[in-house]
Amino acid sequence: MEQTNRQKKIAGVIQKDLVDVLQKAAQDGMKGTIISVSKVTVTTDLSIAKVYLSIFPSEKRDELVTGIQSNTSLIKHEMAKRTKNQLRRMPELSFFGDDTLDYIEEIDKSLSGKDVNPIHNPEVLPKRQKR
C-alpha cells in the first residue's frame, strides 16, 4: 500500500531527528560504531513507526538493536521533546536491524568470484527435499 504525503513527511521528521539522537549516543559510549537510520515507515493512523537501523560493524548489530529496543522509552521521550512543534503525538517506535548491506556484500562477493562456485562444488547448495 502506498504511503500518503503525511506519512512520508512524518517518517522524514522522525528519521532526521532519530539520527541525531542515536549518533549522539554512539559518540558518548560506542567508539568505532556507526549507526544510521536507513528507513522509517509510519502506519496509516500515525501510531507506530518502524525504524530500520544499519549498524557498522555488522557483528554488533544484534547486540545494539537489543540495547536500543530496551531504551525505547528514553528515545521516544527525547524524540517527543525534539518534535513537539511538528508532531502532536509521537508514534510508538519499533526498531529493527537492517541487513541489506550484508546482502549486497554477499552478492558482490559472488559476482566477483570470491565465493565458492556451486557449479564446480555442488555440495554448497542446499539439498532438495523429496516430497
Flag whether 127 is in a domain. no
Q: How far is CA 118 from CA 19, 109, 113, 121, in A?
A: 41, 13, 11, 5
Looking up residue 25, the CATH number of its domain turns out to be 3.30.300.20
Question: Is residue 128 pLDDT above 80, yes or no?
Answer: no
Find the domain containing 29 and state its range: 5-114
Q: Cα separation of 90 and 48, whole Å?
A: 9
Per-residue pLDDT band at 27 (split at 50, 70, 90):
confident
Flag whether 123 is in a domain. no
Residue 7: predicted pLDDT: 92
Flag whether 131 is in a domain. no
Please give the residue that has the higher pLDDT: either 24 or 81.
81
Question: Residue 51: enclosing H or E segment and its boundaries?
Answer: strand 48-56
Percent helix, strand and coil across the chain, each to the nearest 5: 50, 20, 35
**Are 48 and 96 within 8 A, CB to CB?**
no
Angle made by CA atoms 99, 52, 85, in degrees to the nearest 5: 160
Please give the residue that has the higher pLDDT: either 110 or 91.
91
Number of domains the chain contains: 1
Per-residue pLDDT band at 37 (split at 50, 70, 90):
very high
Flag whether 125 is in a domain. no
Please give the residue that has the higher pLDDT: either 114 or 128.
114
Residue 48: predicted pLDDT: 95
Question: Is residue 22 pLDDT above 90, yes or no?
Answer: no
